[in-house]
Amino acid sequence: MAENTRFPITIFSAQNGQVSASGEDVGLAFSVTPAVVGQTEDVTMDLDLNQKSLVGRAPAAGQPPITSSHRVKTKIFVKNGESAAVVGVNSGEVVTQFNKDDPSPGSFAEGTEPLFSLNRSKQYAKKKSQFVIFVTPQIIESAHEGTEDLQRNFRMNVN
């Protein structure tokens, strides 16, 4: 299962003057491989999660954006019908910018530049995020039973 967003990139070649299009995918790719343990109600699951996030815009035109990637591969044991919190991906970002305010142009006589600016600024942003997936295995006896559950629970047409 994958849920991705593609950020387009236009690449200009200075050597031959050609323009080409490319892109950078960000999002979530998640795979689960379940197996029933013997004749029990236990289910073992091999999990592989890859989350790629956009961290910043491209440093220059024609370059890909700055991304971060978090990958988790693990194996869990869960009883049939019980839930488990599987993956927690934490990310944090702190940005501090100083003196971004422009002393409003036009406040001085025409053609006169200010000698100094008393305007000072500080912008501080802190962002934290956490991503957790809950997995609940359900053992079904036949494919027909599973199809009926899908139709009933999700109002889906399953052929």
pLDDT at 158 over 70: no
33-61 per-position pLDDT tens digit: 999 988 888 999 999 988 888 777 766 66
pTM for this predicted structure: 0.57
Model pLDDT for residues 92-121, shown as the tens digit of each residue: 777 777 776 555 555 556 666 667 666 677
- For residue range 57-67, what is the model confidence (pLDDT) as tens digits? 766 666 677 78
Please enumerate in sequence order all residues whose Cβ is within 8 A of that of 138, keeping only pairs 6 or more positions apart, or say none.
Answer: 80, 81, 149
Q: Are 146 and 140 in contact (CB under 8 A)?
A: yes
What count of other Cβ atoms lies within 10 Å of the Cβ of residue 88?
Answer: 11
